[in-house]
Amino acid sequence: MLKPLRGITVIDLSRALAGPYCTALLADMGARIIKVESVNGGDTARQWPPFQDGHSLYFDSVNRNKVSVCLDFYSEEGRDILSGLIADADVLVENFKPGTLDKMGFTASRLEELNPGLVLGSVTGFGNTGPLKDDAGLDQVIQGMSGLMSVTGPGPGSAYRVGVPIVDITSGMICAFGIVSALLGARNGERPSRVSTSLLETALNLSAFQGQKALSLGEAPTPQGNNHPVISPYGMFATATESINIAVGSDKQWRAFCGLLGIASAVDDPRFVTGADRSANRDQLTELIETALSSKPATEWVPLISQAGIPCGPIYDYTQALASEQVAALGLVQQRQRRDGSPLPLLRGPLSLDGEASEILSPPPLLGEHTAEVLLERGMTHDDVTRLEREGRVVCGPASAQVSETIGAQR
């Protein structure tokens, strides 16, 4: 696969999900990601379940194609090492609580002094200004405060969190987009030194037409269960066996759908003539459709409806989804092995370039796995690394220590 970000070095100070998701996307495109972690356990996600043989699968899910360096951020030696890494990098990514980077000694002026061309990518909870700018923000809190939970659930009066940390994930995507935009800006002299987004800003931008309804009409949208909030029939429908998803998005599809289900008279039924009519009379329409669908199992309906050009599909759990024929055809799951020898199936990144899918070149790193390797690259000696590790200024994982010993012996 082409690597359009080859030659770009990113120092990744981020933790948990939004920042690491951002840097995983950059790594997929060829950037070298040096994940700098604290000696106090590293990325907090390493302590989060689910676990497999002591490895956090939460951490593993978003830390492919990176190297891990483990430092004492607050020691003089640790700051010196980090300063050197930043000075030679193109990008620095962090998602600390506002002010944390300053407390570490890396103020805006210090970063400018170290590396005038550096792009700083930041993800915060609530943005750079306003009464909540200094507050910590987490995905579920922002889901609630952004209105996202208010449109998720079985019906009016309910509020559910989205089943995946959608705000963290999309904030990481937005930050990656901003970083690449900044790097490209050098071509026309418009390269910002700081790119920032927040969970709140990203979450509100996910509102799309629901947010626009609130803005323009002053009406708060409510949950519609598994139905599309404004289009019908578009949602989950029962069959003779399990339920399936069907999305009828146009009048042409509506006519074809009625013919397929044997309810041709519904086309001219005054309750269902237009999209607005079908939405207003959703309950009656659903009853009509599910009565027709009850004649066949889901496994027969899905191909019939899909072949008619109407979006339709089964409802899988994740084990079914990851084992599907389409996922296999796309090569989305790649089998890798951690440095300690343990096997690890991973989802590759979602982008393809010129028909070539992104790939996983290295598994998520063990804590400090590459500390010695990176420090030796920077001109330190084996004795320097050994001393720093003995004094608790760095942590070298087993593989990192092995590299240090090998290089030391060669010297």
* Bridge partners, residue 33, by sequence: 10, 66
Contact 65, 28 (CB under 8 A): yes
Rounded to an integer, what is the distance from CA 87 to the centroid of its chain? 28
Q: Which two tokens stand for residue 159?
A: 């509020």
DSSP 6-39: TT-EEEE---TTHHHHHHHHHHHTT-EEEEEEET
Distance CA 405, CA 411 (A): 10
3-class DSSP string for 37-53: EECCCCCHHHHCCCEEC
Q: Which of 12, 168, 283, 384 is catalytic?
A: 168
Distance CA 11, CA 383 (A): 25
- Concerning whether 168 is annotated as a catalytic residue, the answer is yes
Residue type at position 179:
I
Cα–Cα nearest to 78, from 392, 401, 402: 392
C-alpha pair distances (Å), 352 with each of 32, 330, 345: 19, 10, 19
Task: Count other C-beta atoms under 10 Å from residue 2's C-beta.
Answer: 12
Q: Which residues are catalytic?
A: 168
